[in-house]
Chains A and B, each alone.
Chain A
Amino acid sequence: MSTGSVEVVYRGIFQKTLAKNICRGVVFAARKEGKIGMAFGRYSDSPERNGIPAKQFAVVSDTQEELQEYLSRYEPDNNDVTIAADDTLCKGVESWAWYGLQPINKLLKEGGTLLVPSMRSPDDLIRDIHRKGAPYNLAIVKGTASFSGLWVYKNDHTDVRLLGALAKVAPHIIGRDAILETIREQWKDEQKVASAKKSYELTKSKSVGADQGNDEVPFEFELPGWTKMEEGLVIRGMAGEQKVAGRDGGYVPARNPTFKKFSTRTMRPVVNFDTCTQCKICWLQCPDTCFDITPDGFYDANMEACCGCGVCEAVCPVDNCITMVNEQAFTDNASQWEMWAKDKEGYSAWMSKKIAAQPPRSHGFHHRGQYAEEIAHESS
Chain B
Amino acid sequence: MWVDTAQEALDTALIAYRVAEDKRVFLPCAISCDGAFLTHSQSLVNVPTQEMVDSFLPRYDRAEKQLHPDNPITIAPQANEDWVMEIRKQSDMAARRARGVITEAYEDFNAKFGRDVEPFIERYMMEDAEVALVGMGTLAMPVKVAVRKLREQGKKVGFVRVRWFRPFPTPELQDALSRVKAVGVIDRDYSFGSTYFSGVLSNELRSALYPVANRPKILSFIAGLGGREVNTDNVIDVANRLFKAASGGDIDDRDTYWLGVRE
Contacts and interface: CB of A to CB of B under 8 A. Distances in A.
A250 B90 contact: no
Contacts of A98: 82
A225 B82 CA distance: 10
B85 to A, nearest CB: 8
Contact of A97 (B26, B70, B74, B81): B81
B74 A235 contact: yes
Nearest to A244: B69
Contacts of A226: 85-87, 89-90, 93
Contacts of B69: 250
B62 to A, nearest CB: 9
Interface string A219-250: 00001111001011111110000000000011
A72 interface: no
A232 B26 contact: yes
A226 B76 CA distance: 15
Contact of A237 (B73, B82, B85): B73
Interface in B52-101: 65, 69-83, 85-87, 89-90, 93-94
B80 A232 contact: no
Contacts, number: 56
B217 to A, nearest CB: 41
A249 B87 CA distance: 31
B72 A253 contact: yes
B70 A233 contact: no
Nearest to B93: A226
A234 B73 contact: yes
A47 B65 CA distance: 25
Contact of A229 (B26, B71, B86, B94): B86
A223 B79 CA distance: 12
B146 to A, nearest CB: 46
Interface residues of A, number: 22
Contacts of B71: 237
A224 B83 CA distance: 9
Contact of B86 (A43, A224, A250): A224
B75 A234 contact: yes
Q: DSSP majority for the A interface?
A: loop
Nearest to A248: B70
A228 to B, nearest CB: 9
Contacts of A347: none
B87 A233 contact: yes
> How extensive is the interface on chain B, given as a class?
20 to 34
B220 to A, nearest CB: 36
B80 A46 contact: yes
A176 B230 CA distance: 74
Given A46-B80, A47-B80, A97-B81, A234 B74 contact: yes
B70 A250 contact: yes
Contact of A232 (B70, B75, B82, B86): B75
Contacts of A47: 80
A226 B74 CA distance: 18
A253 B69 CA distance: 11
A232 B65 contact: yes
A235 B77 CA distance: 9
A233 B83 contact: yes
Given A97-B81, A224-B86, A233 B73 contact: no
Contacts of B26: 231-232
Interface in A247-264: 249-250, 253
Interface string A42-56: 010011000000000
B73 A235 contact: yes
Given A97-B82, A249-B70, A250-B70, A233 B89 contact: no
A298 interface: no
A340 interface: no
Interface string A90-131: 000000111100000000000000000000000000000000
Contacts of A96: 78, 80
A237 B72 contact: yes
B73 A223 contact: no
A224 B79 CA distance: 13
Of the listed residues A97, A225, A233, the one surrounded by the most CB atoms of chain B closer than 10 A to its CB is A233
B73 A229 contact: no
B105 to A, nearest CB: 20
B72 A233 contact: no
A332 B93 CA distance: 44
Nearest to A42: B81
A182 B70 CA distance: 61
Contact of A223 (B75, B77, B82): B82
Contacts of A232: 26, 65, 75-76
Contacts of B87: 226, 229, 233
Contacts of A223: 82-83
A236 B83 contact: no
Interface in A184-236: 223-226, 229, 231-236
A97 B83 CA distance: 9
Given A226-B90, A233-B83, A236-B72, 20 more contacts: A46-B78, A46-B80, A224-B86, A226-B85, A226-B86, A226-B93, A229-B90, A232-B76, A233-B76, A233-B79, A233-B87, A234-B65, A234-B74, A235-B73, A235-B75, A237-B72, A237-B74, A249-B70, A250-B69, A253-B72
Q: Which 8 A-B pairs have the closest CB atoms?
A: A237-B72, A226-B86, A226-B89, A97-B80, A235-B74, A249-B70, A232-B75, A234-B75
Interface of A: 43, 46-47, 96-99, 223-226, 229, 231-237, 249-250, 253
16 contacts: A46-B78, A97-B80, A97-B82, A225-B86, A226-B89, A226-B93, A232-B26, A232-B75, A233-B87, A234-B74, A234-B75, A235-B73, A235-B77, A236-B73, A250-B69, A250-B70
